[in-house]
Amino acid sequence: MISQATAQKRIRDAVNDYAGCKDAPPSNVTSGTCYEKLNKFQVIDAVVAMVLYLDLAAGSAGDLDLYKVNQAYLLDPVMREQINSLLEGWELPASGPHEAITLSST
């Protein structure tokens, strides 16, 4: 198993190789009061990584805009509060295609 730092570096290197992204996020953005250290381009890089990992056709197409959602959530405290309020009590339905998703502790 590799360290978190090594995994982060590999992801950043892959996104950079794929999209030419060079905005590595600051280290240790771990508390809700530190997200203001991120910038728009770092969030875009993270969405690129998610799109690649999930093998999505795009991060923004039709009614899907992962770029806007993630920028709003991470960079705007008011929007984050509104999104959290909207999602309060929401749970993934018990049946559907997501049933095949499992998380491994190994």
Give the global pTM: 0.71
Beta bridge partners, 65, equal 60
In angstroms, the CA 97 to CA 88 distance is 23
Each residue's pLDDT tens digit, 22-58: 666 666 665 666 677 788 888 888 898 999 988 888 9
Look at residue 106 in the predicted model and tell me its pLDDT: 44
C-beta atoms surrounding 66 within 10 Å: 20
Which residue, among 48, 3, 2, has the nearest Cα to 25 in the 3D structure?
48
Tokens representing residue 45 in the block: 């890089």
pLDDT higher than threshold 90 for residue 65: yes
Which residue, among 68, 89, 90, has the nearest Cα to 79 in the 3D structure?
68
